[in-house]
Amino acid sequence: MNEAEKKGLIGSRIRHARKMAGLSQGQVAKLLKLHRPSISEIEAGNRKISADELSTFAEIFDVSASWLLGEADERLESDDPRLQLAARELAKIKSEDLDKLMTLLAAMRGKPTLEGGGQ
């Protein structure tokens, strides 16, 4: 697989994981302290991502970095009705409430929050 194909695969998996998490590009950009167009470029396979960014994407979406890199066959179970319901409900809440929810979920998983320097 050449570099362009690899970036395309990573971008595709990031886009899929983001959509399954019910997050917008803008919300993900805020969590990573990037501009929204940067997320768009990553998802399109036009921008490389750093190891730190990859790790943060994996944490935000609760998937492994190896899955994002295309090295693992882990699947997001998108047909789980509970996941689909959660994604629909997340799409309805205000951005600031989603930020609070993401912080709460990170605390429940025992991981540091992104605002607290947990990158």
List the CATH number of the domain containing 21.
1.10.260.40
The answer to whether 45 and 7 have CB atoms below 8 angstroms apart is: yes
Owner of token pair 């699947």? 75
Domain encompassing residue 28: 3-108
The total domain count for the chain is 1
* Structure confidence by residue, pLDDT tens digits, 19-75: 888 899 999 999 999 999 999 999 999 999 999 999 999 988 888 898 899 887 655
Give a yes or no: residue 61 inside a domain. Answer: yes
% of the chain with per-residue pLDDT over 70:
82
Residue 67: per-residue pLDDT: 87
Residue 62: per-residue pLDDT: 84
The answer to whether 25 and 36 have CB atoms below 8 angstroms apart is: yes
Give a yes or no: residue 118 inside a domain. Answer: no
Structure tokens at 93: 């809440």
Residue 38: per-residue pLDDT: 96
**pTM of the prediction?**
0.63
Give a yes or no: residue 119 inside a domain. Answer: no
Structure tokens at 31: 């969590």
